[in-house]
Structure 1
């Protein structure tokens, strides 16, 4: 299978390249890039680690598959001693005191972090424009948005600045930018990878996941990051997915798609046409296809944002300048809190915090928040029923192609609705991958909980089918 990780590993072992030259070359590309993907470079750390890999090779020692492989980190993950800004004014000078579990596992396997990557501030956005570092520019067309919130991570992979990057996905923040930049992006089953050290956006849907140019590289990175972590009670032990296992798609007999997604008035006619053409190609391979009834995308968006705004209001309540962040003094403590948060949070973050506090407030929580919780349970039950009938659900990643930079900032509602095809799978806590085939923004492949291997199987099958 096509894999940059395998290719670079072999080049290092054969001494065709040195790890130091590899890392320095990628750092140079990141410094020169004009897509606004970089919040900070980890050049001193990266070159030090690269030197250690070269020393091992010079001694004739065997190196692990990920040793010396350069990767990117979305700037919402802690990496000890480095700036972790969440692309926000509030945390622009904050340095991590520890390293996130998922990132530490990669570093323990020898992978080398190069860069903290630009993103929507605190993950609040679907375009990577809500950032103090400037809008991330799409890898294919720099006039368009990169998608969000993991836009910098997706562009760095697409432009070969990093071999892979680690994004964060709450409602589509890995899958949508992967689709916009024509690469692979995986949101694993909720709890498969520890969230410890990830700045929380919405605790009930936050997932750590990889972006890469091949399914094999996604598989390798997923295996390393997966596993139970005592620092995250939602994690669980999971089995390793082998390279051989994802070559066999025979267990997949029936796939489904949601009629409400394809018959929706908001979908771009070309995306609809391309999606239906992809379905016909899948049918031609002998796989049964079943249309499924599901919720309207607007209902999914409303449910998702009701719950996640409430959770982000709670998660960000600690950021008042007292223990963390850029404190702005005023005459009283209450005024200090107010001006610190008002001046340092982006307009989008403030919109979500205010919305979250509203739905949690007395008089509104019963009518709004509790109803959204009940609807999420209904959505999960519907997914369980669907997966009794089909093995895989295939859907477009987005209803439309990437907008021009600046458009989403003027129309937040349209930005929220662009998440209509991704947020439902987040509410269901299901494994979902974006593949760069089928439509202009790719296809989304989803399986039942804990069936991450099945998702990779079908993604590999589609690689040679569409």
Structure 2
């Protein structure tokens, strides 16, 4: 099975390459890249870790599959001793005091972090333009956005600057940039991977997600990061997914798609045509395809952003310059808080905080926030009913192709609507995988909760079909 991780592992074991040379090559490429993917290079620590791997191999000691494999980290994850800025003015000088659980598991497996990656500030955006480090440029066409909020992570994988990267997905922030840059991106079932050490955006949908160039590499990284964590009470123990588990697609008898996604006026005609062509190829293989009814995309977007803004307003209330961040002193404590937050948060972050406080405020919470919670329950119930009829749901990742850099900043509403096909699966807390096939921005495969194995299995089936 195609895999950069397996290939590099074998090259290291066979002494065809050294880990130090591999890491140096990736670091040089990251230094010279013009896509604005780098917030900070972890050069010294990466080379030290590489030297240890080379020493083990020289001494004839066995190395693990991930040992010596270079990877990137979206700059919203704590890694002890590194700058963790969330691409924000407020935290531009903040150093992590500890390491996120998911990242620590990769470090324990011997993987080597190279870079903290550019992203939308605090995950607020769908284009990776809302960042103090400059807009991330698309790997295929640098005039276009890299996608967001994990744009730097997706571009680094697409350009081979990292073997894999760890993004964060709240409403599509792994899947959408993966689609924009023609790579794989997984949002696992909510709770499969610990969120401890991931800066919270919307805690009820935040997920740790891997981005890579192959299904096998996604599988390996997913297995490594998964598992229960006492530091995150939403986590659960999950079974390892083996290579054999995803080889056969015999268990997939019926595939569903949401007809209102495809009948929407918002969808690009070419995306629609390509999606329907992919459906025809699936049918030709004897798999039943069923059109499903679902909530309108504008209902999904408004429900998601109502809840996400409320949660981010709550989560970011701690950032006032007292314990974290760039504090700006004024005559009174209230003025200090006000100027610190006004000057250090971006326009998009302030927009989301204000929106969140609005929907939580007296007189609005019953009318808006509680209605959003009720709709989320209805969406989850809809999914439960759908998965009694179909095994997997397939959909476009986005209704249209990536916009030009600058366009999303002029029209925030258009940016929110670009998430129309991803946010529903986030609200349902379902495992969803972007594959770089089918449409210009890929296809999205979704299964019922805790069925992450099934989306990898179906992706493997589609790899040579579409």
Classify the TM-score, shorter chain.
over 0.9
Question: How far apart are residue 331 of structure 1 and its match?
Answer: 1.2
Q: Does 1:359 align with 2:359?
A: yes
What CA deviation, in whole Å up to 9, does each residue of 1:76-122 have, x standing for no partner? Answer: 00000000000000000000000000000000000000000000000
Long gaps (5+) in structure 1: none
Provide the rounded CA distance (Å) in 1 between the counterparts of 2:285 and 2:171. 31
Matched residue SS, 1:289: strand
Q: How does 1:30-429 map to 2 (within 5 A)?
A: 30-429=30-429
What CA deviation, in whole Å up to 9, does each residue of 1:160-194 have, x standing for no partner? Answer: 00000000000000000000000000000000000
Residue equivalent to 2:12: 12
Provide the rounded CA distance (Å) in 2 between the counterparts of 1:206 and 1:45. 28
Question: How far apart are residue 211 of structure 1 and its match?
Answer: 0.1
Q: CA RMSD in A?
A: 0.3
What CA deviation, in whole Å up to 9, does each residue of 1:375-417 have, x standing for no partner? Answer: 0000000000000000000000000000000000000000000
Provide the rounded CA distance (Å) in 2 between the counterparts of 1:368 and 1:38. 39
Provide the rounded CA distance (Å) in 2 between the counterparts of 1:131 and 1:281. 40
What CA deviation, in whole Å up to 9, does each residue of 1:338-392 have, x standing for no partner? Answer: 0000000000000000000000000000000000000000000000000000000
Matched residue SS, 2:265: coil
Provide the rounded CA distance (Å) in 2 between the counterparts of 1:108 and 1:167. 19
Question: How far apart are residue 244 of structure 1 and its match?
Answer: 1.1
Residue equivalent to 2:450: 450
Question: How far apart are residue 56 of structure 1 and its match?
Answer: 0.2
Scaled by the length of structure 2, the TM-score of the pair is 1.00
Provide the rounded CA distance (Å) in 2 between the counterparts of 1:245 and 1:451. 12
User: How many residues are paired up?
Assistant: 466
Provide the rounded CA distance (Å) in 2 between the counterparts of 1:143 and 1:209. 26
Provide the rounded CA distance (Å) in 2 between the counterparts of 1:261 and 1:219. 28
Question: How far apart are residue 25 of structure 1 and its match?
Answer: 0.5
Matched residue SS, 1:389: coil
Question: How far apart are residue 245 of structure 1 and its match?
Answer: 1.1
Matched residue SS, 2:186: strand
Matched residue SS, 2:234: coil
Matched residue SS, 2:438: coil
- Which portions of structure 1, spanning 4 or more consecutive aligned residues, are displaced by more than 4 angstroms? none
Provide the rounded CA distance (Å) in 2 between the counterparts of 1:207 and 1:364. 28
What CA deviation, in whole Å up to 9, does each residue of 1:260-289 have, x standing for no partner? Answer: 100000000000000000000000011000
Provide the rounded CA distance (Å) in 2 between the counterparts of 1:184 and 1:165. 11
Provide the rounded CA distance (Å) in 1 between the counterparts of 2:354 and 2:245. 47
Matched residue SS, 2:115: strand
Provide the rounded CA distance (Å) in 2 between the counterparts of 1:30 and 1:244. 35
Provide the rounded CA distance (Å) in 2 between the counterparts of 1:65 and 1:347. 43
Scaled by the length of structure 1, the TM-score of the pair is 1.00
Question: How far apart are residue 45 of structure 1 and its match?
Answer: 0.7
Matched residue SS, 1:388: coil
Provide the rounded CA distance (Å) in 2 between the counterparts of 1:327 and 1:44. 30
